[in-house]
Structures are given as structure tokens and as C-alpha cells.
């Protein structure tokens, strides 16, 4: 079977990676009539049966859900440090084994990644926002980074295409710099969130508090079940109520009869014909047997997640591309950006008689209000940030940690809904800078003997100043909403922890300044497309994955048109 | 390949006074691993079993003995007594902690915990001339109160799990926090004190606390 696939079967297209972007590439390419091979490094996970702990109750969690320290320290040293809740006993099997997959940290860096079919579409937070025109104009306006070769209008129809399929619940707001999309009914706000909204909007006319736009279905949609408000999505969801490759895009591709998936297939490099300058094939290491294989196709979509993609491009060294594909002017691996931030929380009294039932799978959002369209006079930093947060009653784990009390009273107090706590966490835009980069370290072999990826990334002065401002604004808003002792806590202070990695193969008009053109095509290698976060030329202030999806479907549409026209 | 769901069951509370801590879940998982059903499914005890198979130092310590389990059971019951809902003992908390002792705590933590139980028992003999397990709930509470006062905690108390993981937490706090954790994650605590709702269905955003004074947990 394996032999047949490498020798006999011919594919029209190869998609590398089966995560959020790879799933979309597979769906669109197969639906447009192409025979597609998806290559996924990780193990196979089946929708529904593969979600082994989806229904495991708390009393069956190993060790009461406490971390398995020995195992985590040994095999999940990086992954287990991900922000609260995202990595747990219930979904550990989705995450990569850090011991077997080392990388170099010139400066401290957390690389959070999965190693299964579906990628991080299984574990993501599903917050889904469009970028606004300001976001695509920022680089041109202030000169940091290169100009984006596209504008919001280029992506708007593709955003719609994606939203209609994945299903995003949300509230349209009619704001120019924070575009609305195609939404299913929004999730509801808690009593305190409603008060936050009223109080903040009354005091600041340019601020809006809205419900988080999230790829969870508030109603049945495209044959997938409605969200049951369990909020344990990152274990997997048999209802298919949140968007993942496994619940949505891969089944759609499968339905065409033109999809082949090969898991345990670690892509090493992409071959380029020196004469035609075309990508001709993909070199793969079978993760189980160690066997090396090559697969050929007419067009290749590289969707291995930002750093995974950069690694493959850097590893694709040949006489024509001695420093990796797209690295003719040393731009590949540079201008990495992400979100940095700070969080604030405070207790707010007066809602003791209100409660809620169920567990909502989103929070609230305050879109960017700083330096919108122009530089605010009182801002000592460039660009801006948005907030995501929420207002909930403390749960028993927090209430229990507030005291060391024992006895009947303690038992009763912990079981009751706790105090109301509101919190806001900033997502700040990191400036694109050439020195924030990844390279290959050939002296350090990693998994399968491939060179380790080396991270040399740090936040700068602008990020620091912006975080100070964000902290101050968050504190003022919480106080205006009635919070008493507002506390600031550092979050997203170490590069990598936000998991919104972007850049490294940025889009641009000028091949000397960028790796990809306006259609995510590698400059000079016309049949190779990169459509994940590596393509991003800046970071914006909202979660990026919806934009990667829109870029992917747009690039597929272009690629197929080019194939039909005989140009690639 | 189908990956079967492996069910983990916390042990049923052992018969009164019985201190045997057997670990059926580990056996189940080992069997499942051998049967090849769990190719990629890492589960708690599976990890322990696999670590052991891989030659790593797996904790191989003898369980708490019957006397120690009796002290633990009595103390747990003082920390979470029976009220209109069951207490820690009925919820199986002593067995839960016994299993953590045998398979999860580090050697240093286990030694400190065992020492703490012995100390509690000693203080009962001094103060009330009987073992802790034979004290009345009031007598036990007085001893725990004294221990609490004598065991200040200097660390941050940000989350229950963080505190349980803090090597500087004194015995009193370790005991108290593990009892709380064990109780509120037990089948009894999850269903009778908290409201375990595996599939809530709806999110009701704003309800009167009088009609719904519960926390919904998973
Ligand atoms: C806890 C968490 C919360 C998040 N929340 C949000 C959110 O709310 N909103 C948002 O927009 N984003 C969020 N993200 C980010 C989001 O998950 C990523 O942006 C998104 O998954 C990127 O899609 P991708 O296709 O580029 O990569 P992935 O989804 O990571 O998929 C990449 C795939 O490629 C495979 N691969 C890598 N290298 C190779 C290789 N050499 N050969 C073969 N296969 C390879 C990987 O195994 C993986 O399956 C979150 C991420 C995490 C971890
Ligand atoms: S909250 Fe909704 S999407 Fe998440 S696991 Fe439950 S049903 Fe699925």
C-alpha cells in the first residue's frame, strides 16, 4: 500500500499538515476536483472514537486531575506549561513529546504544538475574528515591516466563505475597524458582563464590549450538532459542535472521494527542479519505519503551522535554493510576530443574587481602541491591543485555595458559587523586526536526525510600553465597572505562550523583501503555496486563525484557476 | 484502528477500617496496553505503567498501613464532615489519598505525609490519651485547629493545585487540600455538593441564585 502510494498513485496536489489550514486546503482542492494527498506528521485520530476522555468524569481522572509530574517533566516539559487548562490529563495525547522533538532556545521560547491528525484545530480556543483594513495598512503607515500586498477587501469574501462553513457565533457591532462577519446567534453574557458592557460603554464612547466570536455552533449547522455548553472542547467534541479539521473540513474533503490521508509522515523537504523552477515532490520520513519516500504532485500547499512550515522551507536546500526555498534574500525565518500582553482582574460586588447554568465556551471581547486610524496623543507606543475577558463566579478550586479552613462551614462555602470576578487580558501587537527569527542548527540533530529549529525571538521596548498602557486601561475599565482591588498579572510575557505565531515567510510585492506574493505563492516557485501563519506580515490585535483560513481558500481558488489556465 | 474508551474508576470506599490500597485501574490499563488497544492513548495510569515498563524509576512504595489509613480517614471526616450531604469518608477520600500516596507523591512528599499522620496520632495520644482514629469529631477538630495554627504557610495561594504542588506546604495544608480535592472531584462531591452536568445543553446566562445555587462542574 505504501509502495503503491509513493510509486503508482499520482496526486494533483499535496497538502502538508492537517491542522486548521491544511484541512481547509484539502477541502477546497478536492471540492474543486483535484486528487489530494494530505501528509501529516502525527498519529491518526478519529473524529468521535478518538476523543478518549471526552466523557470521562472528574472522579475517573487519574490522580484527581493533578499533573503527572514525572511524566510531564520527562516528555512534556514545554507543552505542560501552556496556559491554564489547555494541556491536561484529558488531552495530553494530542500534544507533541518534547523529549523526542527538541528545539533550540537562543532566548527562552515556548513552542506549543500537537502531533496528531487535525493539528491544533483540536485544541484551539476557537476565537474567530476578521482583521480590519487598518490591520493590513499598519505596516505601510508606520514603516515597521513591509506593506501587505492585500487589503481587507481582498479577503472579505473569503472570510464569509469560511465563516459560513465553520459556523461562528457572534454579535455584529457595525464598527469600521473591527469588521462583522456571517454569524450564528451569539452566546449570552452573564449578569456581570452585561453590567461591564453598560458601564464601560457609558464612560468611553469609543469602546465596545461584545461577546466573543467563537467557532462553536449555537444552532445546528452543516450537519453538525449544536454546542452543549460543556466547555471541554479541547478534549474533542463528538457533537462536532466546534470547528476542527476532524469534524468539518476533512470529512468534507473525504466526501469528494478524492482525498488520501497519510499520517505518521514527517515531511523533510520539498524538491524543486532546477530547470523548470517548479516544486516537483515532497520528501517524507515514515515516522514508524524510518523509511524515506517521495510523493509527487502538480501543486503543493505547505500548511504545517508557522514554525513547522519554516522548518520545511529551511530544510529544502538544493543547488538552486542553497539556504532553503524562498530564502534568496535572507528573509525566510525573519519578522516573526505574535501577541504579548498583560491581564487584570477584580472582584465586583452587587450581583450575589445572580447565577448562571451550563459552561459557556467563550468570553467577552473589547476590540482595539488605542491608536485607531491615527496615533493617540497620550500613547507612547506604536499600534494597539484588544482585550478578551469575562465575568464569572469563582469556582470551588479557587474558593478552596483562598482559605486553609476545614469543617462543615468550609464544605458549604466551597460548594456555593463563589464571588464574581471580572478579568481582562490584552492581546498586543508585536512589531515585525528582522532580528526576531528562526534558523536551523545543523549541529544539533532533532527528531529523525533533522536539524533542530533554533528560536531567537524577544519582545522589545514598544511591546513593554504597550503592555504598561494596556494594564492601566484594563484597571481603569474594571474600576469603572465597580471592581475593588484590581490586580495586574503578567501573562504572555514570554514569546511563544500566546500561540499566535506569525511571520517568517511574509507576503509582499517585492521578492527581495518577502517570501510570498499576494496569492501566498512562493516568489519564484509558482506551484508552491504557503497559507498558514508563516505568511503573515504583521500580527494585528485579534486571534489570527480565521485569517489563515481565508488566505488558504483564496490561495486555493487562485491556484486552481492557474492550473486550469495551464500556468502552473 | 479503533481506540477504545478506557474507563477509570476511583475505588469504591473500602470496608470500614480496611486499609488495603489496591489499584485496579492500573491493572486495567496494562491489560489494555497489552491488548494493543491504546496505541496513542496516554492515560494516567497507563503512563505510570509504561514508565515502569520503560525501566524508569516508578514509585514502588508500600501503601499506607491500616493504622495510618484509620488516622487519615478520621482526619478527612473532620475536614469534610457529613452534613445534609455525605462526608469525606463516604466519598472515598481516604482511599483517593492513599492511592496518591502510593503512586503519585514523590518520596519526600510521601515520607512527610506519613510522618504527618504519625504526628497527628501522637498528638491525640498526648492530648486525649487515645489514637486520632478513636477521638470524637470535636477532639479531632481541636487537634487539627492546633496543627493549623502551628503550620503557617508562606507561599502564594493562587490555585488549589498549585498549593498541592508546592513543596513548602506544611502537612496540615497538604492534608486539608488533598481532602478538599478528593471530595470535590469524587463521584459523591461532584453530584451531591456540586452539580456534575456532562451535557448541560443550554447556557442560562442569568438565573436567580435562589433557583440555582450550584456550581456546574465537569
Ligand atoms: C491552546 C490554544 C488556543 C488557541 N486559541 C486560538 C483561538 O482562540 N483563536 C485563534 O485564532 N487561534 C488560536 N490558537 C492558534 C491556532 O491553533 C493556530 O493558529 C492554528 O491551529 C494554526 O493552524 P495551522 O494549520 O497553521 O497549524 P496546526 O493547526 O498546528 O496544524 C499543523 C499540522 O502540521 C503538522 N506538521 C507540522 N510539521 C510537519 C511536517 N514536517 N510534516 C508533516 N506534518 C507536519 C502538525 O502535526 C499539525 O497537525 C490556539 C492555539 C492553542 C494551542
Ligand atoms: S462546549 Fe460545545 S463544542 Fe465544546 S465540547 Fe461541548 S458541545 Fe462540543
Q: Is B39 at the interface with chain A, CB within 8 A? A: yes
Per-residue pLDDT tens over the stretch A264-276: 999 999 999 999 9
E strand or H helix at A345: strand A339-347
Rounded CA-CA distance B168/B174 in Å is: 10
Per-residue pLDDT tens over the stretch B86-101: 999 999 999 999 999 9
Ligand that comes closest to the CA of residue A217: 2
Q: Is B41 at the interface with chain A, CB within 8 A? A: yes
The confidence score (pLDDT) of residue B23 equals: 34
CA contacts within 13 A on the Cβ side of A328: 14
- Is the model's pLDDT at A487 over the cut of 50? yes
Per DSSP, B155 falls in state S
- Is the model's pLDDT at A125 over the cut of 50? yes
CA proximity to A45, closest of B6, B44, B3, B5 = B3
| Minimum mean pLDDT range among A322-326, B29-33, B157-161 | B29-33
Q: Which residues of A touch B143 (CB under 8 A)?
A: none
Per-residue pLDDT tens over the stretch A204-217: 999 999 999 999 99
Please answer whether residues A355 and A417 qualify as being in contact, where contact means their C-beta atoms are separated by less than 8 angstroms. yes
Residues 6+ apart with CB under 8 A from A563: A12, A34, A298, A299
The confidence score (pLDDT) of residue B156 equals: 72
- Is the model's pLDDT at A456 over the cut of 50? yes
Q: Which residues of B touch A191 (CB under 8 A)?
A: 205-206
Q: Is A360 at the interface with chain B, CB within 8 A? A: yes
> Would you tell me how many other CB atoms lie within 10 Å of the CB of residue A514?
26
Q: Is the CB of A384 under 6 A from ligand 1?
A: no
E strand or H helix at A259: strand A259-262
- Prediction pTM value: 0.92
What is the band of A9 on the pLDDT scale with cuts at 50, 70, 90?
Answer: low
Report the percent of chain A where pLDDT is more than 90.
Answer: 97
Please answer whether residues A453 and A103 qualify as being in contact, where contact means their C-beta atoms are separated by less than 8 angstroms. yes
Rounded CA-CA distance B113/B111 in Å is: 5
Average pLDDT over residues B67-78: 98
Q: Is the CB of A40 under 6 A from ligand 1?
A: yes
Residue A232 CA: nearest ligand 2 atom is: 5
Q: Is A77 at the interface with chain B, CB within 8 A? A: no
Q: Is A214 at the interface with chain B, CB within 8 A? A: no
Q: Which residues of A touch B141 (CB under 8 A)?
A: 406-407
Average pLDDT over residues A495-507: 97
- Is the model's pLDDT at A281 over the cut of 70? yes
Average pLDDT over residues A488-509: 96
Least Cα separation, residue A194 to chain B (angstroms): 10
Average pLDDT over residues A296-308: 98
What is the greatest pairwise CA distance in chain B?
Answer: 62
> Both ends of chain B: CA-CA distance in Å?
28
The confidence score (pLDDT) of residue B158 equals: 74
Average pLDDT over residues A80-109: 95
Report the percent of chain B where pLDDT is more than 70.
Answer: 72
Beta carbons of A360 and B205 less than 8 Å apart: yes
What is the band of A48 on the pLDDT scale with cuts at 50, 70, 90?
Answer: very high
Least Cα separation, residue A295 to chain B (angstroms): 24
**pLDDT: which is higher, A120 or A3:** A120
Average pLDDT, chain A: 96
Q: How far is CA B30 from CA A225, B37, B45, B46, in A?
A: 35, 10, 8, 7
Per-residue pLDDT tens over the stretch A512-550: 999 999 999 999 999 999 999 999 999 999 999 999 999
Rounded CA-CA distance A3/A294 in Å is: 10
Q: Is the CB of A499 under 6 A from ligand 1?
A: yes
The confidence score (pLDDT) of residue B60 equals: 65
Q: Is the CB of A241 under 6 A from ligand 2?
A: yes
Q: Is A257 at the interface with chain B, CB within 8 A? A: no
The confidence score (pLDDT) of residue B54 equals: 39
| Minimum mean pLDDT range among A246-260, A408-422, B1-15 | B1-15
Q: Is the CB of A87 under 6 A from ligand 1?
A: no
CA of residue A411 to ligand 2 center, whole Å: 30
Average pLDDT, chain B: 80
**Helices A408-415 & B171-184, crossing angle to 10 degrees?**
50
CA proximity to A456, closest of A495, A490, A423 = A495
Please answer whether residues A538 and A133 qualify as being in contact, where contact means their C-beta atoms are separated by less than 8 angstroms. no
Residue A14: strand pairing partners: A37, A300
Please answer whether residues B38 and B6 qualify as being in contact, where contact means their C-beta atoms are separated by less than 8 angstroms. yes
Q: Is the CB of A20 under 6 A from ligand 1?
A: yes
What is the band of A422 on the pLDDT scale with cuts at 50, 70, 90?
Answer: very high
Beta carbons of B40 and A357 less than 8 Å apart: no
| Minimum mean pLDDT range among A118-122, A386-390, B42-46, B67-71 | B42-46
Q: Which residues of A touch B218 (CB under 8 A)?
A: 57-58, 230-232, 359
Average pLDDT over residues A118-125: 98
Average pLDDT over residues A225-248: 97
Measure CB to CB from residue A70 to each of B39, B51, B141 and give the nearest one: B51
Q: Which of A58, A196, A237, A408 to substitute to test the interface with B, most B CBs within 10 Å?
A: A58
Per-residue pLDDT tens over the stretch B13-54: 333 333 333 333 333 332 333 232 222 233 334 334 443 443
| Minimum mean pLDDT range among A158-162, A561-565, B18-22 | B18-22
Amino acid at each position: 500500500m505504501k509502495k503503491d502510494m509513493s510509486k503508482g498513485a499520482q496526486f494533483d496536489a499535496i497538502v502538508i499538515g492537517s491542522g486548521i489550514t491544511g484541512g481547509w486546503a484539502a477541502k477546497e482542492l478536492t471540492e474543486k476536483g483535484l486528487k489530494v494527498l494530505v501528509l501529516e506528521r502525527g498519529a491518526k485520530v478519529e473524529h468521535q472514537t478518538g476523543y478518549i476522555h471526552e466523557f470521562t468524569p472528574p472522579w475517573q481522572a487519574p490522580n484527581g486531575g493533578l499533573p503527572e509530574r514525572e511524566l510531564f517533566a520527562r516528555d512534556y516539559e514545554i507543552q505542560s506549561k501552556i496556559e491554564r487548562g489547555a494541556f491536561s490529563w484529558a488531552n495530553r495525547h494530542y500534544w507533541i513529546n518534547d523529549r523526542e522533538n527538541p528545539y533550540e532556545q537562543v532566548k527562552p521560547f515556548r513552542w506549543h504544538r500537537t502531533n496528531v491528525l487535525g493539528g491544533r484545530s483540536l485544541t484551539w480556543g476557537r476565537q474567530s475574528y476578521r482583521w480590519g483594513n487598518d490591520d493590513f495598512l499598519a505596516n505601510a503607515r508606520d514603516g515597521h515591516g513591509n506593506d501587505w500586498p492585500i487589503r481587507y477587501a481582498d479577503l472579505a469574501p473569503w472570510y464569509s466563505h469560511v465563516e459560513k462553513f465553520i459556523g461562528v457565533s457572534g454579535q455584529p457591532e457595525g464598527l469600521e475597524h473591527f469588521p462583522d462577519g456571517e454569524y450564528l446567534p451569539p452566546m449570552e453574557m452573564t449578569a456581570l458582563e452585561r453590567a461591564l458592557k453598560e458601564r464601560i460603554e457609558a464612560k468611553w464612547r469609543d469602546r465596545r464590549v461584545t461577546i466573543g466570536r467563537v467557532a462553536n455552533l449555537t444552532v445546528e449547522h452543516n450537519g453538525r450538532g449544536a454546542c452543549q455548553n460543556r466547555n471541554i472542547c479541547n478534549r474533542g467534541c463528538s457533537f462536532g459542535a466546534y470547528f476542527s479539521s476532524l469534524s468539518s473540513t476533512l470529512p468534507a474533503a473525504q466526501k469528494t472521494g478524492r482525498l488520501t490521508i497519510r499520517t505518521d509522515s514527517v515531511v523533510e523537504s520539498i524538491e524543486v527542479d532546477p530547470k523548470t523552477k517548479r516544486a516537483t515532490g515532497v520528501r517524507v520520513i515514515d515516522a514508524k519505519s524510518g523509511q524515506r519516500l517521495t510523493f509527487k504532485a502538480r501543486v503543493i500547499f505547505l500548511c504545517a503551522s508557522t514554525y513547522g512550515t519554516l522548518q520545511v522551507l529551511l530544510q529544502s536546500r538544493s543547488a538552486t535554493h542553497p539556504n532553503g526555498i524562498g530564502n534568496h534574500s535572507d528573509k525566510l525565518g525573519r519578522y516573526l510576530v505574535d501577541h504579548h500582553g498583560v491581564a487584570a482582574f477584580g472582584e465586583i460586588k452587587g450581583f450575589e443574587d445572580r447565577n448562571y447554568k451550563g459552561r459557556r465556551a467563550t468570553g467577552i471581547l473589547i476590540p482595539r481602541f488605542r491608536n485607531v486610524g491615527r496615533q493617540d496623543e497620550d500613547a507612547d507606543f506604536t499600534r494597539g491591543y484588544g482585550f478578551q475577558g469575562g465575568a464569572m463566579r469563582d469556582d470551588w478550586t479557587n474558593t478552596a485555595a483562598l482559605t486553609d479552613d476545614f469543617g462543615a462551614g468550609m464544605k458549604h462555602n466551597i460548594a456555593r458559587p463563589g464571588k464574581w470576578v471580572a478579568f481582562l487580558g490584552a492581546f498586543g501587537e508585536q512589531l515585525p523586526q528582522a532580528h526576531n527569527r528562526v534558523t536551523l542548527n545543523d549541529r544539533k540533530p532533532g527528531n529523525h536526525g533533522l536539524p533542530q529549529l533554533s528560536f531567537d525571538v524577544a519582545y522589545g521596548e514598544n511591546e513593554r510600553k504597550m503592555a504598561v498602557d494596556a494594564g492601566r486601561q484594563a484597571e481603569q475599565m474594571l474600576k469603572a465597572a465597580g471592581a475593588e482591588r484590581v490586580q495586574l498579572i503578567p501573562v504572555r510575557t514570554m514569546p511563544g505562550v500566546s500561540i499566535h505565531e506569525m511571520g517568517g515567510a511574509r507576503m509582499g510585492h517585492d521578492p527581495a523583501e518577502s517570501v510570498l506574493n499576494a496569492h501566498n505563492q512562493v516568489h519564484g516557485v509558482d506551484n508552491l503555496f504557503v497559507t498558514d501563519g508563516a505568511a503573515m506580515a504583521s500580527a494585528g490585535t485579534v486571534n489570527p486563525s480565521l485569517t489563515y483560513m481565508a488566505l488558504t481558500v483564496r490561495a486555493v481558488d487562485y491556484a486552481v484557476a492557474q492550473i486550469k489556465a495551464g500556468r502552473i | 484502528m479503533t481506540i477504545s474508551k478506557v474507563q477509570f474508576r476511583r475505588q469504591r470506599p473500602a470496608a470500614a477500617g480496611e486499609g488495603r490500597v489496591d489499584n485496579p485501574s492500573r491493572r486495567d490499563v496494562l491489560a489494555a496496553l497489552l491488548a494493543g488497544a491504546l496505541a496513542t492513548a496516554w492515560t494516567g495510569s497507563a503512563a505510570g505503567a509504561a514508565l515502569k515498563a520503560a525501566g524508569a524509576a516508578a514509585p514502588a512504595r508500600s501503601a499506607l498501613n491500616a493504622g495510618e489509613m484509620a488516622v487519615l480517614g478520621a482526619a478527612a471526616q473532620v475536614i469534610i464532615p457529613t452534613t445534609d450531604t455525605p462526608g469525606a469518608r463516604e466519598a472515598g477520600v481516604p482511599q483517593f489519598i492513599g492511592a496518591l500516596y502510593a503512586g503519585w507523591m514523590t518520596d519526600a512528599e510521601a515520607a512527610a505525609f506519613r510522618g504527618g499522620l504519625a504526628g497527628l496520632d501522637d498528638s491525640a495520644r498526648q492530648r486525649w490519651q487515645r489514637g486520632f482514629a478513636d477521638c470524637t469529631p470535636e477532639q479531632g477538630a481541636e487537634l487539627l485547629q492546633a496543627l493549623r495554627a502551628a503550620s503557617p504557610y508562606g507561599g502564594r495561594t493562587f490555585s488549589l493545585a498549585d498549593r498541592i504542588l508546592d513543596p513548602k506546604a506544611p502537612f496540615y495544608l497538604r492534608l486539608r487540600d488533598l481532602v478538599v480535592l478528593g471530595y470535590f472531584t469524587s463521584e459523591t462531591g461532584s453530584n451531591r455538593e456540586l452539580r456534575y452536568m456532562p451535557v448541560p445543553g443550554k447556557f442560562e446566562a442569568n438565573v436567580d441564585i435562589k433557583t440555582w445555587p450550584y456550581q456546574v462542574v465537569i
